[in-house]
Structure formats: structure tokens, C-alpha cells
Amino acid sequence: MSAKNANTNVTTNANTPTPAVASASASASVKAKANGNVSAKTKANNIEDLYALTPTQQGMLVHHLEGGEDGIYFEQLLFTIQGALDLDAFGRAWQTLLDRHTALRTAFAWQNLDKPVQGVARHARLPISVLDWRALSPQAQSERLQAHLAEERRRGFDLAKPPLMRLSVIQLAERTYRVIWHYHHLLLDGWSSSIAFNELFECYRAYSRGVIPALPPATPFKHYLAWLQSQDTAQADAYWRTMLHDFDTPTALLTRTGRQSQRLSTAGIGEMHAELSLEDHRRLQQFCRDHQLTASTLVQAAWAIVLSRHTSERDVAFGITVSGRPANLPGVERMVGMFINTLPCACRCRRWTICWHGLSCCRANR
């Protein structure tokens, strides 16, 4: 679960043509079964396409089906609009995003199937709730917002019923609106949400002027899935087996109570914030330049040191999130979907060479 804030000032309506998307081949039996999963709550003839899940999507779905922590993949992105808001143009702009991008019209099927699939609906209407809180005090608005966020998280999504997203538009003052985009992380990653926002406001500006947005055709997410399925999995398997040959168990954080060591509970998530002084920031930047490192590599090495000390293990491994967008796939930088992946970063730490060896391991893994 996450609630993210973005302040957006817009001084700036959805009913546009949808780019044609070719249907992927799917066996009649799989399509019929998937229709029974996905389309029981839509219509069988509303399925435009069917295809497999990415590894990350598979992991998320398994976690969900095994009763994983409620709401952990329920995303809520908040932003503020200052100025007059044309609600008709705003709604049209959001609907255009769904019409353009197959990933935003996707639902998931797994019952009675050998493997789960994602099905793209030909048409999906975005639910938009418009709320007027202008009569409330700022304190009451803040309390109402937190209650609204919690209620939407409890409501969640039916993964078999597209779209797995909805919108809340809350008017706080005459020219102030708070917008909340609720969506399931199975659909898209952070990079994709940025693409969606750029297109959203381009469409909004166009519709508010009474013109059609001049956007290039959207590249379907299935092009990435086709690329993914064409990769040599045997080669990848051999690489990771070699990389992780020293590991037979996961690296687990421990908490020490006297002589007892206990695994930390995995329940709950949270955030910690720390601020660096300008001088510390400058020194770290210079260190990275001097040793041809990225700041990300430095943070990973620091985390390896922390893990090594808290687990008393010389060899530690942890996951790092990568964008997952292959540079050799045309149009990938403008695709909307779930591309990210978590890869293992394995580090061997020694008492006197822990920092330098950790840095070299992290850099090699990247």
C-alpha cells in the first residue's frame, strides 16, 4: 500500500479515437476458460486480448492469492490542482488514457487455468467520484481525506473486473481540487505512471480548448511480453545459478535478545526518513565521481554492510528493483505497463575489505 503526493498546478475534458490493437493468438480453450474468469463480470465478447503475466505480476498475484498483507499493492497517488477545473475535460482526458493503453484495461484470470493470464477489455469505463468538501474546515477536510483513503483501500479491487483503477476528485475550495488516483500495482509501475500523467495533462489541455489531442499511437504492452518470452531462459538460469552458488538460504534480518536470535516479523511496512547535510551530500557526490560509482551503488553497498553486521554473515543477498525496460525494444520508453523486476544483489563482505569489496560486487551486479 502506498499513498503518494504530487503537487500539480493546472490552468487547464474524454471522448477520443482509440488506436487499433491487434489480438494476440490464444487457444480457444484457454480463451473460453479465461472468459469465464475475467468476463463473468464483463461480457465474453469484451475480451480484446489475452497473454501471460510478467514474472513480477506472477509474484504479486501469488502473494495476493496466498492472503498477503491487505492493500500492499493498492496504490493511491494524490495531487492538487489549483485553478478552475473543467470536470468534463478532465474526465475525458482520463478515459482517453484507458482507451489508449491496453494495460489500463486489464484484468486477471487464474481459476481452472494451468497458468494465470491477463485479459484486456475492449472497453472499460473509468469510475470517477466527485466530492464537494468546501463546507468543511481544513482540519475536517484532512480527517475526511484520511478516512476516504482508508475506505478506498478497504474496498480494494476485484482483480477479474476491469478497470483496476478509479478516481476521486475532491473540491476543497473554489479553485482548489485534491485528486486521488487509486490503482492496482499489477497494472503499471512508476515510470508508466509518469507517462500516463504527461499524456493526461496534454489531453486535458487539448479538450479544454475543444480540440483533439495530438498524441502518437500507443505501443501495446504485449510487445514487451513478446520480447520477454523470446529471451533465452536457460542462459539466464545458468547466470543466476553461478552468481548465487554460495547461497542456499535467504539472508534474513535477525533481532538479538541476549543470546537469542529471532527472525524479524514481516508484518507491516513503514518508512524512515533521514536528511544529509549539504556538506555530506557534496562529499558523497565527489566520492562517487572519484570512483566511478552511482549513488545507487553506494547505497546498495551500505545496505550490504548493514545486513552483514546484523546477520553475522559474510555472504549476503538482497533484492534491487530495476526498470526492466530493454533498450533494444522499439518504443519501450513510451509503453505503459508493469515492467519493473527485482533482481538479487549478492555481496561478499570481509572485515577489512567490506566497503571496497561490497562496492565492487554491487557495481558488478548492476
Going by C-alpha positions, the residue among 97, 83, 57 that lies closest to residue 342 is 57
Q: Exposure pattern of 222-244 as b/e (b: 16+ CB <10 Å)? A: bebbeebeeeeeeeeeeeeeebe
Q: Return the half-sphere exposure (C-beta side, CA atoms, 13 A cut-off) of residue 149.
A: 19
Going by C-alpha positions, the residue among 112, 119, 118, 121 that lies closest to residue 29 is 112
Going by C-alpha positions, the residue among 28, 167, 20, 193 that lies closest to residue 91 is 167
pTM of the model as a whole: 0.79
Q: Which three cell numbers stand for residue 261?
A: 536470535
Sequence-distant (6+) residues with CB within 8 A of 260 are: none
Task: Write down the H helix ranges in 25-104.
Answer: 28-38, 55-65, 87-100
pLDDT value, residue 347? 84
Crossing angle, helix 87-100 and helix 190-208, to 10 degrees? 130
CA distance 182 to 178: 13
Beta strands in the chain (DSSP E): 2-7, 47-52, 74-82, 106-109, 117-121, 128-132, 165-173, 176-184, 254-257, 260-263, 315-322, 341-348
Q: Return the half-sphere exposure (C-beta side, CA atoms, 13 A cut-off) of residue 8.
A: 19
pLDDT in tens, the chain (366 residues): 456 655 444 333 333 322 222 233 334 444 545 555 554 444 557 899 999 999 999 999 998 888 766 678 999 999 999 999 999 999 999 999 999 999 999 999 999 999 999 999 999 999 999 999 999 999 999 999 999 999 999 999 999 999 999 999 999 999 999 999 999 999 999 999 999 999 999 999 999 999 999 999 999 999 999 999 999 989 989 998 988 888 888 888 765 444 444 555 555 567 788 899 999 999 999 999 998 888 888 888 888 888 888 888 888 899 888 899 999 999 999 999 999 998 888 887 765 454 554 555 555 555
pLDDT value, residue 71? 76
The answer to whether the CB of 98 falls within 8 A of the CB of 164 is: no
pLDDT value, residue 159? 95
Eight-state DSSP code of residue 313:
-
HEC assignment per residue over 276-287: CCHHHHHHHHHH
168: exposed, middle or buried (Cβ count in 10 Å: 0-12, 13-18, 19+): buried
CA distance 103 to 94: 14
Q: Which three cell numbers stand for residue 365?
A: 551486479
Q: Domains in the chain and their CATH numbers?
A: 2-220 (3.30.559.10), 278-366 (3.30.559.30)
